[in-house]
Amino acid sequence: MAPTLYMIPYSQPVRATLMTIKALNLDVNLKEVNLIDKQQLSSEYTKLNPQHTVPTLVEEDGFVLWDSHAVMTYLVSKYGKEDSLYPKDLRKRAVVDQRLHFENGVLFPDTMAIIRPVIYGGEKIIPQVRIDRVKEDYGLLEKFLQGKKWVAGDHVTVADFSIVSSITTMDVVVSIQGAQFPNIAAWIERMEKLPYYDQNKTGLDQIRKVIEDNLK
């Protein structure tokens, strides 16, 4: 039997994980968890994942893992035919890990801070302080990409999958200006050409509609 991934397509961490799965050409059973209906708070789901987040991976032998960063690196380490998505070389891996922590500790929280009040709180006008924070994040990523094709170096890695899920969501509310952030704009174009980018685009289109509808 294939592993099962509990997910919802519009979730940023899920989109990153789905890109990883497609890049690895893995057979995974997908089981949707409706966050709006609070299915993640059911007793069945919280037994699997007490943090009641998505994605959650369940292997056929009962092994359970959540947090997209942990899930992606685990999947590459276990199922990858080679290690380019998550290098075994310690220094290369350390850079990928740093970028993953940047997404987890900076980009994802700042994205949630700007879109949650719109989606769940009925906010129609985004405070300038949050917009400024997102632009600061863009500035950091712009520097990370200086002289590089991908966020962690010369090869696409799981860090690209993770970061693009947040950056493209941020772009829905704080547009990335190519003249100001040319490295980011060029990197997104490269990401969009990857054969597994559709796994980000599908969920992104869903959350874009929700955000834009709520801002009307």
pLDDT in tens, 46-92: 999 999 999 999 999 999 999 999 999 999 999 999 999 999 999 99
Q: Does 55 sit behind a cis peptide bond, omega within 30 degrees of 0 on the bond before it?
A: yes
Lowest mean pLDDT among 28-37, 125-134, 159-168: 28-37
Domain boundaries, the chain: 4-79, 90-215
Tell me what pLDDT residue 34 has: 84
Tell me what pLDDT residue 37 has: 81
Q: What CATH number has the domain spanning 90-215? A: 1.20.1050.10
Asked whether the beta carbons of 26 and 32 are under 8 A apart, the reply is no
Q: Can you give the pTM of this predicted structure?
A: 0.96
> Has 162 been annotated as catalytic?
no
143 pLDDT exceeds 90? yes
- Residue 50: CB atoms within 10 A of its CB come to 9
Asked whether the beta carbons of 169 and 137 are under 8 A apart, the reply is no
**CA pair distance 124, 117, nearest whole angstrom:** 9
Tell me what pLDDT residue 73 has: 98
Catalytic option among 11, 68, 165, 166 = 11
Domain 4-79 class in CATH = alpha beta
**CA pair distance 88, 77, nearest whole angstrom:** 9
- Angle, in degrees to the nearest 10, between helices 108-121 and 128-144: 150
Confidence tier at 38 by pLDDT (50, 70, 90)? confident
Confidence tier at 41 by pLDDT (50, 70, 90)? confident
